[in-house]
Amino acid sequence: MATVSERFLWGRQEGRIRHWSVFVGGFAGVVSALLLVALLGSGSGESLTYDVLLPASLFYAPPVISAVSTFRGGGLLVSLAVGVVPAISFGAVSVVRQLVAGGSSSDAPLWAVVVGFGLIGVVGSVVGFLAGRGVSKFIEG
**Residue 80 lies inside a defined structural domain of this protein:** yes
Structural domain count, the chain: 1
In 3D space, the residue among 40, 48, 31 whose CA is nearest the CA of residue 87 turns out to be 31
What is the pLDDT tens value at each position of the chain, 141 positions in all? 556 666 666 677 777 788 888 889 999 999 888 888 777 665 555 567 677 778 888 889 999 999 999 998 888 999 999 999 999 998 998 888 888 877 666 678 889 999 999 999 999 999 999 999 999 889 887
Domain membership flag for residue 2: no
Q: What is this structure's pTM? A: 0.83
Alpha helices in 1-141 (DSSP H): 4-10, 16-20, 26-40, 46-48, 54-55, 61-71, 76-101, 110-140
Answer whether residue 10 is part of any domain. Answer: no
User: Are 54 and 38 contacting, i.e. CB atoms less than 8 angstroms apart?
Assistant: yes
Residue 11 located in a structural domain: no
Rg over CA atoms, the chain: 17
Structural domain boundaries, residue 72: 16-140
Q: How far is CA 113 from the centre of its chain?
A: 15
Is there a domain that residue 9 lies in? no
With respect to residue 1, please indicate whether it lies within any of the assigned structural domains.
no
Query: Domain for residue 4, yes or no?
Result: no
Q: Check if the beta carbon of residue 79 is closer than 8 Å to that of residue 61.
A: no
Amino acid identity for residue 4 in this structure: V
Residue 73 lies in a domain: yes
